Amino acid sequence: MASQVDATFPADNVKVSKSTMRAQMLIIKDEITALQTKTRLPWLIARGDLSV
């Protein structure tokens, strides 16, 4: 899974707009949620919780 997060953001000593910051935080939140969704079932199986 390739990340859509801008690794150069924020640049040092550069003022960042709130909308840009919110957009980056939304991308990060969405990516974390997607990763958690993909790893939840294998994690439960590895733990031995087969009631899923």
> What whole-number distance in Å separates Cα of residue 47 and Cα of residue 13?
46
Helix (H) or strand (E) holding 46: helix 18-47
Both tokens of 5, joined, read: 């997060």
Please check the confidence at residue 1 and state whether its pLDDT lies above 70. no
Which tens digits make up the pLDDT trace of 11-52?
778 888 899 889 999 999 999 999 888 888 888 888 887 665
Q: Residue 24, Cβ neighbours under 10 Å: how many?
A: 16
pTM, rounded to two decimals: 0.66
**Residue 31 burial (10 A CB sphere; 0-12, 13-18, 19+):** middle
pLDDT, residue 52, reads 56
Higher pLDDT, 8 or 34: 34
Helix (H) or strand (E) holding 26: helix 18-47
pLDDT, residue 32, reads 92
